[in-house]
Structure 1
Amino acid sequence: MPKWFVLHWRFLCLLIALGTILTPFLLTVYIKTVTNNRRYFKVEQVPDEPVAIVFGAGVWADGTPTPMLADRVEGAVELYRLGRVHKILMTGDNGTPEYNEVVAMQQYAERLGVPSKDIKLDYAGFSTYESCYRAKVIFGVERAVLITQKYHLPRAVYTCNQLGIEAVGLGTPDWGKFKDDSMRFYTQREVLAVIKAILEIHIIRPKPTFLGPFEGMS
């Protein structure tokens, strides 16, 4: 085998390896950059929007929200109290009768003073992509504030904007509040989730697991 061919092959393999390593990082930087002016970290900074969308983040065995989910709901409630939003869409996983994120979110928001008439539930928000897709198609959301932890916020804002919702986001605390081991796991997983989001949004455009009739936000 000619020496030049071996060198060429090794160089090609190096380029492929570098691309594999760098692509997730570059996509993450890209999404953070293009959503930078749409992400806020203090309630007082968030512009008025008709709807807040709260993404699910797990419930305990007794049906109460995990600390991450509680923070998200509290952020939405604070926006509601300040009059920055008028309706709240709770979107999450209710894949089995025993597991219901959205009812836990609703009950917690009601305990904090939000009337049930201003809360809408999306029981089939099984992923960020599905939540954004359904918010637009099933609930007719045109503009919204998205509420989730800071590490997840760029992907959420990017996804909803690409699916036709004029979205901004409120990032709730993550690093410094939750255990470093947990945050490392979530942050590393987010890199892979960004790749999946790019594929779903720009290439595959899958339908959600469930669609159903139009419900609106009234």
Structure 2
Amino acid sequence: MVILVIAAINIYIDFKARDFLFDHTNAIPDNTYALVLGTSKYVVGGGKNSYFESRMKAAEQLFSANKVDTIIVSGDNREDNYNEPKRMKQALIELGVPEGLILEDKSGTKTDFSIRYFKNKYPGQGVTIVTQKFHNQRAVYSARKNGMNAVGFNANDIGFLRDKKTHVREWFAKVKAFTL
């Protein structure tokens, strides 16, 4: 029964978000702001994080296609030596996004915190959320549930088979988002 409830909630959230998720810049509506959800630049044990790289490329694509004017990078920075927004900002600058058009949200330790920050800081503004599709389903669902005019731009994903842990964790995060 528990598995059926988890599956039903995931299907419901995916269904509610589907019309607001985009894979290509030519189809996505324009927004003033993009909100890039944080992740570490490196994986545990070393090496580049594919999620990070894909999100930065997706945000740059939106900017280059004139689909957003300003990019907000939101992530964890609770420790002196770990600062997701700072690393995301640097990566976007390296991709050619002007530094003055990148804002840092240092309260984004969780997806819900990033969404609340944006809603409180920019009330009534539309936003394009940038992350992988499996994560964007929940983020856009949560934002719209909270009265925000949000769409999602899906960054490339490495797929379930290469990262089962993150994808399965997201199934449970969707259940939590549904109940809040």
Q: Is TM (by shorter chain) over 0.5?
A: yes
Tell me by how many angstroms 1:21 deviates: 1.9
The alpha-carbon distance between structure 1 residues 98 and 64, as it changes in their structure 2 partners (threshold 3 A), is farther
Among 24, 39, 43, the residue aligned to 1:42: 24
Tell me by how many angstroms 1:188 deviates: 1.1
Does the aligned pair in 2 maintain the 1:142–1:164 contact within 8 Å?
no
1:87-127 CA distance string (max 9 Å, x none): 00100000111110000000010111111111110011011
Aligned to 1:169: 152
What count of residue pairs does the alignment treat as equivalent? 178
The reply on whether 1:33 has 2:15 as its aligned counterpart is yes
The reply on whether 1:58 has 2:40 as its aligned counterpart is yes
Tell me by how many angstroms 1:64 deviates: 9.2
Gaps of 5+ in 1: 1-17, 201-218
Q: Mark the structure with the bigger radius of gyration.
A: 1
Tell me by how many angstroms 1:153 deviates: 1.2
1:43-75 CA distance string (max 9 Å, x none): 2221111111100111228x9962211211111
Among 107, 111, 134, the residue aligned to 2:117: 134
State the distance in 1 between where 2:71 and 2:124 align. 11
Give the structure, 1 or 2, with the largest relative contact order (CA under 8 Å, sep 6 or more). 2
The alpha-carbon distance between structure 1 residues 81 and 87, as it changes in their structure 2 partners (threshold 3 A), is same
Tell me by how many angstroms 1:140 deviates: 3.9
1:173-208 CA distance string (max 9 Å, x none): 21xx357241x22221111101111233xxxxxxxx
Provide the alpha-carbon RMSD of the alignment: 1.9
SS at match of 1:59: coil
Aligned to 1:78: 61
Does the aligned pair in 1 maintain the 2:33–2:71 contact within 8 Å?
yes
State the distance in 2 between where 1:50 and 1:151 align. 24
Q: How does 1:1-218 map to 2 (within 5 A)?
A: 18=1, 20-60=2-42, 66-140=49-123, 142-174=125-157, 177=158, 180-182=161-163, 184-200=164-180
Runs of at least 4 residues off by over 6 Å: none
Tell me by how many angstroms 1:129 deviates: 0.6
Does the aligned pair in 1 maintain the 2:160–2:167 contact within 8 Å?
no
Between the aligned residues of both structures, percent identity stands at: 29
Does the aligned pair in 2 maintain the 1:65–1:101 contact within 8 Å?
no
The alpha-carbon distance between structure 1 residues 33 and 90, as it changes in their structure 2 partners (threshold 3 A), is same
State the distance in 2 between where 1:150 and 1:31 align. 12
State the distance in 2 between where 1:164 and 1:170 align. 19
The alpha-carbon distance between structure 1 residues 132 and 64, as it changes in their structure 2 partners (threshold 3 A), is farther
Q: Aligned partner of 2:165: which letter?
A: F
TM-score, normalised by the number of residues in structure 1? 0.76
Does the aligned pair in 1 maintain the 2:55–2:156 contact within 8 Å?
no
